[in-house]
Amino acid sequence: MAKKPRRFAIVIDSKKCINCKACNVACRAQNNVPLAHSRNWMNEETRGTFPKLLAAFEPEQCHHCEHPACVRVCPTGASYQRPDGIVAINDSDCVGCRYCVIACPYDARFFREDRGVVEKCDLCARRIDRGEVPACVETCPGKVRTFGDSNDANGQVAQLLATRQYRVKKAEAGTGPQLYYLL
């Protein structure tokens, strides 16, 4: 049987997250992200009243969708999807129309005013091409993120998705997100 192509995904175990924001700092340092914007961010939720309350932290970034709306709407083809599923931007073709920023259901893209182009998480594609993992995955002290090839049946991602219950965000938007949150 022919081997399936690589399909990168991230599985997130939010319950392990302590909101230290090391992932955010690592991403900023790795990708030179200006302070006004973030390629990954933290959703914080508090419920209940003291002393019965809950504080939940949930890291988020580009979902590297199966059918990315941002890629579909891009007029120049600057936004593209690699064969391994990574959704990235070819800087030199981006005209800065921001249609993709509006089209993304996860608000994962931002317009970088100083360069006049749109930026987003590209799963640290250059690191991946060197055989490394994304900076946010490597730096996380709680091992919240698990990165890997979801088509590799023996890989960690496929194993987690096969054995644990999970959810994806805004599935109703129909873009086929590849950021999996363990329940």
Partner 1 sequence: MKSIEWGYLIINYLFLGGLSAGLFFVSAVATFLHNGDGRHQRIARWGALLAPWPVALGSLLLIFDLGNWYRFYKLFLHFRWISPMSIGSWLLMLFTLLALAYAYSWLNDGERASLLAHVPQRLTALRTCLRDLSGHRRTLAALGLPLAVGVGIYTGVLLGAVQSRPFWNTNLVAQLFLFSALSTGCAGLMFAFAFSRQPMAAAELRMLYLLDICFLTLEFFVVLPYLVHSQLSVEAVRQSMHLILGGPFTFVFWVFFLWFGLLLPLGIEVGEVMPALLSKSGLHARKWLVGATAVLILSGGFLLRYVFVFAGQMSAFK
Six-digit token string for 140: 């996380």
Residue 69 in contact with partner 1, rule: CB under 8 A: yes
Classify strands 117-119 and 110-112 as parallel, antiparallel or unpaired. Answer: antiparallel
- Taking alpha carbons only, the member of 125, 124, 117, 121 closest to residue 83 is 125
At 51, the amino acid letter reads P
Query: Which residue from 9, 11, 17, 117 is in contact with partner 1, where contact means CB under 8 A?
Result: 117
- Beta strand 110-112 with 145-149 is unpaired
Pick 117 or 157: Cβ nearer partner 1? 117
* Smallest gap from residue 127 Cβ to partner 1 (A): 26
Interface with partner 1, residue 118, by CB under 8 A: yes
Compute how many residues bind partner 1; rule: CB under 8 A. Answer: 33
Contact call for residue 95 and partner 1 (CB under 8 A): yes
Listed ranges 21-29, 102-110, 133-141, 155-163: which one lies at the site for partner 1 (CB under 8 A): 102-110
14 contacts: CB under 8 Å, gap ≥ 6:
56, 57, 58, 59, 144, 181, 182
Residues that bind partner 1 (CB under 8 A): 69, 72-77, 93-99, 101-105, 107, 110-113, 115-118, 170, 172-175
